[in-house]
Structure 1
Amino acid sequence: MSTATYKVTGMTCNGCATKVKNQISTVAGVSSVDVELATGHVTVTTESPIDNAVIMDTIEETGYEVVLV
């Protein structure tokens, strides 16, 4: 398993957090997603290493800015 944490800006409510979590969950190989709305941190656990760009692109496609922590 592999884990990466991202800082997502622009999430202002639980709906935003749910939208991000649901989108990331559709990426093949993702086993869990934890979104901490208060800090903007999103922790993604995958079954095997996934290119961070894939996760980051997915988050950006939902309308939010993201950087790897």
Structure 2
Amino acid sequence: MATTEFQVTGMTCGHCEKSVHGEVSKLSGVEGVDVSARTGKLIVSSSAPVDAAAVVAAVDEAGYQAVPA
């Protein structure tokens, strides 16, 4: 299993985490999503390396900004 870490800005609460989790979970190949508003970290688990641009776009769709860590 591959894991990819991102730094997310703009999250402040559990609702923020749920929004990011929901959008990233929809991506093809994603098997797990761990997101923390406290640390600003997003860890995506997948069977194959995940498309970083797709994750960034999904986080943007949720209303936040992400960059690969």
TM-score tier (shorter)? over 0.9
Q: Which runs of 5+ in 2 are unaligned?
A: none
Identity of counterpart residues, as a percentage? 38
Tell me, in whole angstroms, the C-alpha distance in 1 between the residues paired with 2:62 and 2:37. 15
Moved over 3 A (4+): none
> Is 1:51 equivalent to 2:56 in the alignment?
no
Q: TM-score, normalised by structure 2?
A: 0.93
Tell me, in whole angstroms, the C-alpha distance in 2 between the residues paired with 1:24 and 1:68. 14
Q: What residue in structure 2 maps to residue 66 of structure 1?
A: 66
Q: RMSD over aligned Cα, in angstroms? A: 0.8
1:9-63: CA deviations, max 9, x gaps? 1111100101100111011100000012211100000111122111111111111
Q: Which runs of 5+ in 1 are unaligned?
A: none
Q: How many residues align?
A: 69
Q: What residue in structure 2 maps to residue 20 of structure 1?
A: 20
